[in-house]
Amino acid sequence: MRDVVVLGAGLHRFGRFPDKSLPDLGREAIENALDDSGVPFKDIEVAYVGRVLAGMGAGLSVVSEMGRTGIPVINIEMACGSSTSAFREAYLSVATGVYDTALVVGFEKMQRGLIQIADQKSYQTVMGLAVMPASYALQARRYMADHGATAEMFGQVSVKSHRNGALNPYAQYQTAVTLDDVMNSRSIADPVTLLQCSPTTDGAAAVVICAASKAAQYKSGRLAHVAGWATGSGKYEPTGDSAEGEADTGEIGRLVAMAWERAGLGPEDVDVTQVHDAFAPGEIFSIEGLGLVPVGEGAQAVWDGRTEIDGDIPVNTDGGLLSRGHPIGATGCAMVTEIVRQLTGEAGPRQVKGGDAHVGLIQNAGIGGMNILVLTS
């Protein structure tokens, strides 16, 4: 497999843009990624597109905004993990030598309110079980009893995320909130309150990747390399699992071990991390599953500030899903974008470790499936 670098990344701001079409959102993200990479669109050989709710062929309608060069445009869907799945396919196509340059795009336009995860007439809906935050809430309550954590420790994840979002001009929410704000916001699925839920969002994100051997013609300086990856679909763990929800810590642990083996690195090497905090407890479960802290110590680690930008295990420095926003098809590419900024020393006020960050870890989940990526510089 060839060495592959991320040459450029960019977003259309996340938020609510009722007057903008998907091509409007996607085009701006692609323009920003191409500008950042130095690669003209005519040099892009293939495009992989993560999207969920848009209709047939939506990827082509967005990518062709940049020109009709005849390249393959491949639509990929894995719910909230769609665009890291697209990234992985693009990476493999370049690493195996099929293409030298590839574009990855993720985009979404969403309705307000709880994401509908089951048909209106389905058993899960009629019975009131298809409540998205419920799987996190169920896991959170058990976690509190088993590990002596408090509801405030989950709330603190959201306080941190909003503080980081306030430093990110592309974030949906750019205003800090207090722990009281979080805990006193409306309860959705106890102990998860409204401010511990990621919003529904419109947005787009794009990434340009390239064979490392071809990178010099486009860009010089510090570049982020793809060092490791793993993908899975929620391996069944015999007895002892909860009945519902996205992949649990066991699945994260299984996959991250595969990614570390490919990268030749381990959790002790990580400088900065992006995790799937669709709901606030997610950050705590993820940092434990990834091995950044021992199981049962994640809540205390958040409470102690260890996942803050200036902490020893900074997580979701751009505000995460909670504050940056969660346009489901675009979220994975936004995660990649933030890690690339951190690893190239371009994260501005959000920069970790004084710019001396060289290993970035990404965990992006989508109902049952999960992608892990390790980038290095």
Partner 1 sequence: MNAAAETTKGQSEDIRPLSAGQFIAAPTPGERARLRGARCRACGETFFPPRRYCAACTSGEMEDIELPSSGSVESFTIVHQQLPGSAMIPPYAIVNVRLGAGPVVQTVLREGHEMLELDDDVALVVETVLNEDSHSYVAFIARRLAGGSKEEGK
Which of 12, 276, 326, 333 does the annotation list as catalytic? 326
Q: Who contacts 131 (Cβ-Cβ below 8 Å, separation ≥6)? A: 114, 188, 189
CB of 295 to partner 1, least distance (A): 16
Closest-CA residue to 61 (of 69, 73, 53, 70): 73
CA distance linking residue 307 with residue 357, whole number of Å: 15
80 is catalytic: yes
Closest-CA residue to 210 (of 72, 29, 7): 7
Say how far residue 36 (Cα) sits from the centre of its chain.
20
Nearer to partner 1, 94 or 137 (CB): 137
CB of 120 to partner 1, least distance (A): 4
Nearer to partner 1, 140 or 340 (CB): 140
CA distance linking residue 377 with residue 373, whole number of Å: 14
CB of 297 to partner 1, least distance (A): 20
CB of 157 to partner 1, least distance (A): 17
Q: Which two tokens stand for residue 306?
A: 């260890």
Nearer to partner 1, 114 or 211 (CB): 114
Q: Which two tokens stand for residue 372?
A: 């892990």
Nearer to partner 1, 70 or 113 (CB): 113
Q: Where are the beta strands (DSSP E) in 134-269?
A: 187-189, 192-193, 202-211, 224-232
Nearer to partner 1, 99 or 136 (CB): 136
Which residues are at the interface with partner 1 (CB under 8 A)? 113-114, 116, 120-121, 123, 125-131, 133-134, 137-139, 141-142, 145, 186-192, 236, 238-239, 241-244
Count helices and strands in the chain by DSSP H and E runs:
12, 11
CA distance linking residue 146 with residue 186, whole number of Å: 25
Which of 12, 80, 276, 333 does the annotation list as catalytic? 80
CA distance linking residue 52 with residue 82, whole number of Å: 7
CB of 346 to partner 1, least distance (A): 39
Catalytic residues: 80, 326
